[in-house]
Amino acid sequence: MNRKDFGDDFFWGVSTAAYQIEGSITADGKGPSIWDVFSKKKNKIFNNQNGDIACDFYNKFTQDLYLIYELKIPNFRFSISWSRIFPNGTGQINQQGIDFYNRVIDLCLELNIEPWITLYHWDLPEKLQEKGGWTNRDIINWFSEFVTCCVKHFGDRVSKWIVLNEPMVFTGAGYFLGVHAPGLRGLNNFIASVHHAAMCQAAGGRIIRSLHPNPYIGTTFSHSYLEPYNTDNVKDHHATKKVDALLNRLFIEPLLGLGYPLADLSILNRIEKFIKPNDMELISFKMDFIGLQVYTRELIKYVPFQPFLQANIVKASQRFVHHTIMDWEVHPDCIYKAVKKIEQYENVKEIIITENGAAFDDDLKDKRIFDLLRKDYLQNHLNKLLKAKKEGSNIKGYFVWTLVDNFEWAEGYKPKFGLVHLDHQTQKRTIKESGFWYRDFLS
């Protein structure tokens, strides 16, 4: 397998997110985000860590963009911190926030790296959370204001746009399970935020389309390849179907004009009370591409006493299979299966793998990191992606998660996904073998 097999127009990249790398959480007029607040609460994050400094990308972006350049990665995906631009969520624009992203974009272009902007990667302005955040329908207007501002300020140089990062994760973990910011729980919070995020997903796309002369617009979905734990057990099959509707279908189907998958997920029936006339037309939008973020396969077991779904994910460690620090099974076929499944939807034009990568323990020895597990992981997943591509799947790109070891949300700094190692004491970056492998592959 080599780069050429994927075609000359294939987008190769690396993905990051503002809160996970930037640090400088109060610099130059930035307002607080829900992650600034949540990460300070006791026992929410591994070892009570937070993103106050993270990779110090705010000050070290030049170094990091040069790393991308050195690694010969032609596309860089990063997100905009909403509260850097709008410290209060809406209203007054903070010019210094705009200036920062202008510097990032300009340096990308100077280095011949194409910038890909994710508009929302989970760090909602705290001021908006005080008004209910994603549970408040007004977020459709707040988000529209933010998107409009970003397209107006950056659209002269940026044509690649990603509206939301994994809405299932930020609504599920943030508004249902309470394990991510803002730490809310309960079905009502979840359902309200699902509907409003799904509305914003389409609204964001429409705004970009109306303001930008030649945009390439997408949005991303987490996608787990699911199988029943016991393939002979009908109940495990039913459970898998429900979990699939929740994890893999809940956001893409309304976007594609298919409505919510309520037939397979009756616990969400109450969503209807949040749906206003015309919503189900406004909720769909023709994206240029669908971003899939694929890491693993999950096995699903019927568990009668489990509330809501009567289903559980059987963790990889309990199954004694090869897994990462996240306890995610290493199962390269998942990427092939994800593409094959999503391309069956009629309105999906192009697919980009906007994240794929692995967290393993890295050992720094003689200033080198032989992270062969990560290298194998990437290589094996790419092989499976190529298989799908050769069979005719319309896959247009692949982005590794991530550049530098960073703040991994509730897991803190423990899981390391980077192609580049970070020493948190000194902020020194060291390219890992996987980084060199990616460079050689791209060369």
Catalytic residues: 166, 355
Interface residue with ligand BGC, options 221, 408, 416, 437 (CB under 6 A): 408
Is residue 166 within the footprint of ligand BGC (CB under 6 A)? yes
Interface residue with ligand BGC, options 49, 90, 222, 224 (CB under 6 A): 222
Closest to ligand BGC by CB, 17 vs 352, is 17
Interface residue with ligand BGC, options 120, 161, 229, 401 (CB under 6 A): 401
How do strand 350-355 and strand 160-164 relate by DSSP bridges? unpaired
CB 199 within 8 A of CB 283: yes
Residues across the chain: 443
| Neighbouring C-beta atoms of residue 23, cutoff 10 Å | 20
Is residue 64 within the footprint of ligand BGC (CB under 6 A)? no
Closest to ligand BGC by CB, 221 vs 438, is 221
Diameter of the chain measured on Cα atoms = 64
Would you state the structure tokens that stand for residue 89, as one six-digit string?
Answer: 């969520």
Closest to ligand BGC by CB, 302 vs 417, is 417
Is residue 405 within the footprint of ligand BGC (CB under 6 A)? no
Single out the segment in contact with ligand BGC by CB under 6 A; choices: 104-112, 138-146, 165-173, 197-205.
Answer: 165-173
Residue numbers 167-186 binding ligand BGC by CB under 6 A: 169
Single out the segment in contact with ligand BGC by CB under 6 A; choices: 162-170, 210-218, 368-376, 430-438.
Answer: 162-170
Is residue 49 within the footprint of ligand BGC (CB under 6 A)? no
Is residue 165 within the footprint of ligand BGC (CB under 6 A)? yes
The one-letter amino acid at 430: T
Here's the x/- map for ligand BGC, 92-111, by CB under 6 A: it reads as: --------------------
Closest to ligand BGC by CB, 212 vs 331, is 331
| Neighbouring C-beta atoms of residue 280, cutoff 10 Å | 16
Interface residue with ligand BGC, options 6, 13, 14, 17 (CB under 6 A): 17
Residue among 256, 336, 282 at smallest CA distance from 137: 282
- In whole angstroms, the minimum distance from the beta carbon of 367 to ligand BGC comes to 26
Q: What is the phi/psi pair of residue 400, to 5°?
A: -80, 135
71 three-state secondary structure: coil
211 three-state secondary structure: helix
Single out the segment in contact with ligand BGC by CB under 6 A; choices: 148-156, 164-172, 296-304, 316-324.
Answer: 164-172
Interface residue with ligand BGC, options 36, 329, 350, 355 (CB under 6 A): 355
* DSSP track, 259-304: ---GGG-GGGGGGGGGPPTTHHHHT----SEEEEEEEEEEEEEE-T
Closest to ligand BGC by CB, 94 vs 201, is 201
* DSSP track, 88-140: TSSSS--HHHHHHHHHHHHHHHHTT-EEEEEEESS--BHHHHTTTGGGSTTHH
Here's the x/- map for ligand BGC, 190-219, by CB under 6 A: it reads as: ------------------------------
Would you state the structure tokens that stand for residue 140, as one six-digit string?
Answer: 């459709």
* Cα–Cα distance measured from residue 232 to residue 254, given in angstroms and rounded to the nearest whole number: 32
CA distances in angstroms from 378 to 70, 211, 299, 342, listed in the order given: 19, 37, 22, 21
| Alpha carbon distance, N-terminus to C-terminus of the chain | 13
- In whole angstroms, the minimum distance from the beta carbon of 121 to ligand BGC comes to 6
- Please give the residue ranges that form the binding site for ligand BGC (CB under 6 A): 17, 20, 165-166, 169, 222, 293, 355, 401, 408
